[in-house]
Amino acid sequence: MPQIYSQILGTGSALPERATTNNQLADELALRGIETSDEWIRTRTGIEKRYLAERALTTTQLALRASQSALWDAGVSPEEIDLIIVATTTPDMVFPSTACQLQKQLGCKKGGAFDLQAVCAGFIYALTNADALIRTGVYKKALVVGADVMSRIVDWDDRSTCVLFGDGAGAVVLGASDEPGILSASLSADGTLDENVLGCTGYISGGEVFGEPFVRMDGQQVFRMAVSSMAESAQAVLEAAHLGVNDINLYVPHQANLRIMQKVAQKIGIDDSKMVVTVNRHGNTSAASVPLALDNAARHARMKKGDVVLMQAVGAGMAWGSVLVKWTREQDSAE
Ligand code: ACO
């Protein structure tokens, strides 16, 4: 039996309509008695604006738009999809899953559909799972989505977290191939770095909300952990693929904080010019951050056929991981 691999066939993304700049956000927060500034947010995080979902916009709708665009980009019809994985921490309901709602909206019925929850690392976890399932030979074409509406679970009275997040979705179509696209993947977690580091502990029981339904974070611990875990994870995927850091042509890190991204790139030994940066425009979109950045890079023709792309993310759990991909598509023309 020839070895089966998976390749990225297309990418897509979606954002809410309205961008909110730091100055606009500072004005809105001032009305609640919360003080912040464009200067504080920009210098600490690199974020200049973010897209916030209007009340009626759902995670599923964002996932649908990103998926439709990825399918179009790949030249694949919804009927060909036999696996859907949606990474999300902000599903529209407890169940049915966002993946099943997405399947209904896309009008496809073949194969399986499920949600995966690994917070900001969700897309990397989902992509690794989809790759593994395709390699079994059972699935031929997967839709892998990261979609989050974090604005619904941030506490707008907590300035240390609410300025960091944005909403959005990104998707890739993954297809079986006899040549590798995905070269290696590494997933890690350390459950001892629990909700005291980063968490949203709210849950429903008996029709009531218990715990705290808002994001809480020890920012400095997250910062330190993000830097050390990403550097180690990059090493793991490079070793597994028998490649060196100089083989990386494009670096797509989790877009949480520009200072984290630059420190990690420096630690791994990747030049800043190879790094995709969208955190300035999108903020931290959690599971959507990596596929949104990847799609942005594709739209701007940042990768050509044969390029090696490193994607990585870290988030609550804490959970983190990396995927190393050989880009197998012809170069997209820049928008
Ligand atoms: N505007 C103005 N001042 C603020 C704000 C704000 N939005 N938020 C906090 N401050 C104040 C604090 O109250 C504090 O004031 P004090 O000194 O008078 O007490 C001061 O700024 C410094 O606060 P610190 O928390 O020490 O600031 P720090 O330099 O650590 O930066 C930050 C905070 C940006 C959150 C940083 O720790 C960080 O980026 N951590 C990583 C967290 C992250 O990216 N999380 C995303 C989710 S997890 C993930 O995706 C990996």
pLDDT, residue 333, reads 65
Torsion angle (degrees, nearest 10) of CA 172, 174, 180, 182? 50
What is the pLDDT, as a whole number, of residue 2? 82
Ligand 1 centroid to Cα of residue 219, in Å, is 6
**Annotated catalytic residue within 22, 254, 257, 282:** 254
Examine residue 261 and say whether the peptide bond preceding it is cis (omega within 30 degrees of 0): no
User: Would you give the DSSP letter of residue 308?
Assistant: E
200 annotated active-site: no
Dist. CA 292 → ligand 1 center (Å): 24
Mean pLDDT of 40-52: 98
Q: What is the pTM of this model?
A: 0.96
Non-local (6+) Cβ contacts of 184 within 8 A are 236, 237, 238, 240, 241, 323, 324
Largest CA distance in the chain: 65
What CA dihedral angle connects 99, 100, 103 and 109, to 10 degrees? 130
Residue 254: active-site member: yes
Q: Residue for token digits 């917070």?
A: 119
Pick the residue whose CA is nearest to atom 32 on ligand 1.
Answer: 219
List all residues 6 or more positions away from 105 whose beta carbon is below 8 Å from its beta carbon: 60, 64
Alpha carbon distance 247, 239 (integer Å): 12
What is the CA(217)–ligand 1 centre distance, in A? 9
Report d(CA 229, CA 243) in Å as an integer. Answer: 19
| Tokens found for residue 301 | 């023709």
Domain ranges of the chain: 5-180, 183-326
CATH number of 5-180: 3.40.47.10
pLDDT at 331 over 90: no
Write the residue with the smallest CA distance to atom 23 of ligand 1: 160
Burial 179-199 (b: 16+ CB within 10 A, else e): ebbbbbbbbbeeeebeeebbb
Q: Check if 100 is active-site.
A: no
Nearest C-alpha to atom 42 of ligand 1 is from which residue? 219
User: What's the mean pLDDT when you consider all of the chain?
Assistant: 96
Q: Which pLDDT belongs to residue 330? A: 81
Q: Kindly give the number of the ligand 1 atom that is closest to the alpha carbon of 289.
A: 50
Type of residue numbered 194 = D
pLDDT at 334: 65
CB atoms closer than 10 angstroms to residue 256:
26
Q: Do domains 5-180 and 183-326 have the same CATH topology?
A: yes
Nearest CA to ligand 1 atom 5: 160
CATH topology of domain 183-326: Peroxisomal Thiolase; Chain A, domain 1 (3.40.47)
pLDDT digits (tens, 9 = 90+) for 267-293: 999 999 999 999 999 999 999 999 999
Instruction: Determine what percent of the chain is predicted with pLDDT higher than 90.
Output: 97
The length of the chain, given as a count of residues:
335
Residue corresponding to tokens 């968490």: 199
DSSP 8-state class, residue 164: T
> Which of 65, 39, 62, 67 minimizes the C-alpha distance to 51?
62
